[in-house]
Amino acid sequence: MELPQERRLVTDIPGPRSRELLARRNAAIPKAVFNTVPVFVERASGAIVEDVDGNRLIDFGAGLAVLNVGNAHPAVVEAIREQADAYTHTCFHVTLHEPYVALAERLNELTPGDHEKRTMLVNSGAEAVENAVKLARSFTGRPAAVTFDHAFHGRTLLALTLTGKAMPYKLGFGPFAPEVYRLPFAYPYRCPTGRPPEECGPSCADLVIDEIERHIGPDSVACVIAEPVQGEGGFVVPAPEFLPRLAQYCRDRGILFVADEVQTGFGRTGRWFAAEHFGLVPDIVTTAKALGGGLPIGGVTARADIMDSVHVGGLGGTFGGNPIAAAAALEVIASIEREGLLERAERVGATLTAGLGDLQDRHEVVGDVRGLGAMVAMELVEDRGTKRPAKEAAARTIEECYRQGLIVLKAGTYDNVVRLLPPLTIADDLVEEGLGLLDKALAAATQ
Ligand SMILES: Cc1ncc(COP(=O)(O)O)c(C=O)c1O
């Protein structure tokens, strides 16, 4: 059912029905399984989420970077229905099905580079990352994986080891996997080498390369894995030259370059993949989140010679490439093409960036505004000189937003980034309304 694309508040948030369900949730589900907006959803469409009390919230979260084509896109829902009518599961290791093949073909076409590729399908971003590192180790015969500060790659053991934030992700969950090395990332607002933004990229690339050369040894490194724009780490767009220089170094040293496009993929940044903005052609690309338009599916797309080096039976899983999820993903890709959502992402992103720039001019707490395409964030600081992170202000801003009917999400190693990820299909008036609500939320949060 399609909902009017309008915000509507009929109760406080959370309303009485959501509160009842929250009490049941608290009794049945651990608090460790966290939640940002304390409402239960009744229905959703486009960029509007309706809760069980009848409130309609503007969605700047897209189910955590999943609903790029919008909540319950009608064509995706129809594809799911049609596939469910025909069959729901085969396990690709038992009998085969065409949606898996068709989706692999599309991912091979769309990921950067026109070389021969192969794709395997999985259930989640973390599973894609695990398989990317498995592949890199098997192909190179080397043990080490290099990851970065502020990285987030998932919550399974190896993906969690690659992740760069103790609280809440890693604390108490060790010991972690061996042979993972973490190096600085070119974060222009907080350059680890202390350089101004224009020198951050080359200086951090030199530092990383020097660390690999001296401390790890390039002949031990199977892969370098990077998010082309760091997602959970705070929408950190790496300074220019950082990733291209590292990718070139990897090529020279026989190290595989893995782009984790789980959060940045499928039009979010105005291109199919964020790696394209930096002219990168990764050896391996991981995908998930927006690929399935709300159904759980991920992919690992790699150079054919890398994929084909693995023995029969070495890769897979029971549900990987489930036909309903694959049918949904094929329709997500078709919808992005049909509706021109790459261009739309740039336009939405430009409006959001200009809007946040305006908020930065008027609210001292907004230290930095950054992003790529429709992946836009503001980093809040207590003081623009010291850049001390304003974690409480970020939490209060997010709460003020949802109380006014706007879903926004937190990010950042210091929990001080407010990130915006609306569906790419969102109407201009909802973007503007959301920016107005953010303005009020910042004022209320910092008074
Ligand atoms: C860049 C990146 N990689 C991997 C993951 C893990 O994906 P999943 O939650 O589907 O396991 C995430 C999730 O936020 C992500 O942003």
For residue 307, the domain's CATH number is: 3.40.640.10
Q: Which domain holds residue 390?
A: 16-73+340-446
Q: Of the candidates 338, 363, 392, which is a domain's last residue? A: 338
Total domain count, the chain: 2
262 lines ligand 1 (CB under 6 A): yes
Three-class DSSP category at 139: helix
124 lines ligand 1 (CB under 6 A): yes
Closest Cα to atom 8, ligand 1: which residue? 125
Q: Is the dihedral of CA 385, 387, 392, 397 positive or negative?
A: positive
What is the number of the ligand 1 atom nearest to the C-alpha of 154?
A: 6
34 with 107, same domain: the answer is: no
Probe residue for ligand 1, chosen from 66, 123, 131, 152 as the CB with the greatest number of ligand atoms within 8 Å: 152
Burial 334-358 (b: 16+ CB within 10 A, else e): ebbeebebbebbbbbbebbbebbee
322 domain-assigned: yes
Question: Exposed/middle/buried for 409, CB within 10 Å: 0-12, 13-18, 19+?
Answer: buried
419 lines ligand 1 (CB under 6 A): no
Distance between CA atoms of 418 and 386, rounded to whole angstroms?
19
53 with 120, same domain: the answer is: no
Q: What distance in angstroms lies between residue 385's CA and the mean position of ligand 1's atoms? A: 33
Three-class DSSP category at 229: coil
55 with 107, same domain: the answer is: no
Residue 52: alpha-carbon gap to chain centroid: 27
Q: How far apart are the first and last CA of the chain?
A: 41
In the chain, count H helices and then E strands: 13, 15
263 lines ligand 1 (CB under 6 A): yes
Please state the φ and ψ torsions of residue 203, each to the nearest 5 degrees: -70, -40
What is the number of the ligand 1 atom nearest to the C-alpha of 64?
A: 14
153 lines ligand 1 (CB under 6 A): yes
**Tokens 């809007």, residue?**
355
365 domain-assigned: yes
pLDDT in tens, the chain (447 residues): 799 999 999 999 999 999 999 999 999 999 999 999 999 999 999 999 999 999 999 999 999 999 999 999 999 999 999 999 999 999 999 999 999 999 999 999 999 999 999 999 999 999 999 999 999 999 999 999 999 999 999 999 999 999 999 999 999 999 999 999 999 999 999 999 999 999 999 999 999 999 999 999 999 999 999 999 999 999 999 999 999 999 999 999 999 999 999 999 999 999 999 999 999 999 999 999 999 999 999 999 999 999 999 999 999 999 999 999 999 999 999 999 999 999 999 999 999 999 999 999 999 999 999 999 999 999 999 999 999 999 999 999 999 999 999 999 999 999 999 999 999 999 999 999 999 999 999 999 998
What is the number of the ligand 1 atom nearest to the C-alpha of 286?
A: 3
Q: What distance in angstroms lies between residue 427's CA and the mean position of ligand 1's atoms? A: 27
299 with 391, same domain: the answer is: no
123 domain-assigned: yes
411 lines ligand 1 (CB under 6 A): no
What is the number of the ligand 1 atom nearest to the C-alpha of 230?
A: 1
231 lines ligand 1 (CB under 6 A): yes
300 bridge partner residues: 120, 286
CA dihedral 196→200→203→205, nearest 10 degrees, is 180
Both structure tokens of 287: 């995908």
Q: Do residues 267 and 349 make contact, with C-beta atoms less than 8 angstroms apart?
A: no
Q: Do residues 119 and 128 make contact, with C-beta atoms less than 8 angstroms apart?
A: no
173 with 44, same domain: the answer is: no
Please state the φ and ψ torsions of residue 379, each to the nearest 5 degrees: -100, 125
10 domain-assigned: no
Q: What distance in angstroms lies between residue 262's CA and the mean position of ligand 1's atoms? A: 6
Distance between CA atoms of 371 and 106, rounded to whole angstroms?
27
290 with 413, same domain: the answer is: no
Q: What distance in angstroms lies between residue 20's CA and the mean position of ligand 1's atoms? A: 31
18 lines ligand 1 (CB under 6 A): no
DSSP 238: P
67 with 145, same domain: the answer is: no
What is the number of the ligand 1 atom nearest to the C-alpha of 296?
A: 10
Closest Cα to atom 4, ligand 1: which residue? 153
233 lines ligand 1 (CB under 6 A): no
359 domain-assigned: yes
Q: Of the candidates 298, 317, 338, which is a domain's last residue? A: 338
316 with 368, same domain: the answer is: no
Q: Of the candidates 303, 338, 373, which is a domain's last residue? A: 338
Q: What distance in angstroms lies between residue 231's CA and the mean position of ligand 1's atoms? A: 9
| Neighbour count for residue 251 (Cβ, 10 Å) | 13
Q: What is the CATH number of the domain that holds 33?
A: 3.90.1150.10
Distance between CA atoms of 307 and 281, rounded to whole angstroms?
16
Distance between CA atoms of 220 and 236, rounded to whole angstroms?
28
Please state whether the peptide bond connecting residue 218 to the residue before it is cis, i.e. omega within 30 degrees of 0. Answer: no
DSSP 71: B
95 domain-assigned: yes
